[in-house]
Amino acid sequence: MPTPDPNGILPDYERPPVVETVLGIQFDQIPGFGNAHLGSFWKTLDTAKWPNVADAPPLHSEAEQFGDAVRWPSHLKIQLTQDPRSRLQIRDPLGDRMIQIQNGRCHYNWLGQGGSDYPRYLAVRDGFEEVLRRFVQFVRQEKIGEFRPKQWEVTYINNIRKGTVWNAPSDWSFFRPLGAVPTVGDVVQGESFSGEWHFIIPGNRGRLHANWQHGFAPVDGQVRQDTVWLTLTARGPVDGGGDPLPAILSGLDLGHQTIVKSFRAFMSDEANTFWGLKP
C-alpha cells in the first residue's frame, strides 16, 4: 500500500465520497443525569438554530481494549435492555447538522445525504467543541455529577456508488484490503460482499475499524442504485489529568488523521484520481 507523506501533510480531495462525519466522546455515566435533563440541555441552545428534536434509543458503549483483553464478537450483537434512558437528537433547520446527547455520549454529526458539500473537518470540529463546552457547563450548573471523558471517536461514512470507481463486484479491487470478489469461470460469479477490518493505531493510541457494506441507496427519492457503504471509525482513550478538552480534541485530530491517511492508502491510484486527490 502507498505510505503517507513523510512531511505529515494530510491527503485532500476535491470530490470525496464522504456523506456523513461524526465526532464524539464517550464519558462515564453521570448518576444524576436523567431524561428530563436532555430537554433542559436543548433549551440552553439557540432553539432557532437547533429547532428540531427527536428521541432515539441509546447507543451502547464501545471500549477499545488491547492485549489479552481484546475479544472480537463472533456474531452480530443485539442489545436488549429495560433501561428507560434515551438519546436526544437535535437537528438544525437544513437537516445537515445534528447533536446527539445521552448519558454517556455526546456526538456532533454533519449529514450530507441531502447533497450538501462536505464542510471539512475543522468546521465539524469547531461545531463539536462548541456543543461539548455547553454540555460540560450544563452538567456543572445543574450539579448532577462530574463529566469524566474516557474515549474519543471519529466516523466517516462514504457512499461509493456503482458507475463511479466500479461497475461490478469484480471491480472492487480499487479497495486494496478487499480486492475483487472472485468469479470462478462459468461456475459462480461474484455478486456481493460485506465485511470488516480492524487496525491498531501504533502505540496502542486507538484503533481503526473499516466496515464494507454492499447495498442500495435511493436516488432522488425514487429509484435505488447499487452502492458500497464504507464506514471508517477511529476510537481511542482520552488521556487523563487536567483540563480534558485539549486531550479530547487531540484524540479527535489523531482519529481524523488516521482515517484520511488510511483512506488514501486503502484506495487504488485510479480511485484516488477519480475523487480528485490533490498533489
Measured CA to CA, the distance from residue 226 to residue 162 in angstroms comes to 5
129-180, pLDDT tens digit by residue? 999 999 999 999 999 999 999 999 999 999 999 999 999 998 999 999 998 7
Closest by Cα among 262, 265, 258, 28 to 139: 28
236-276, pLDDT tens digit by residue? 999 877 789 999 999 999 999 999 999 999 999 999 999 99
By DSSP bridging, strand 206-219 and strand 97-102 are unpaired
Residue 2 per-residue DSSP state: -
By DSSP bridging, strand 206-219 and strand 52-56 are unpaired
Measured CA to CA, the distance from residue 209 to residue 215 in angstroms comes to 19
Query: For the chain, which residues make up each domain, given as ranges?
Result: 12-22+151-279, 29-58+84-147
Specify the pLDDT at position 269.
97
Is the pTM higher than 0.85? The answer reads yes
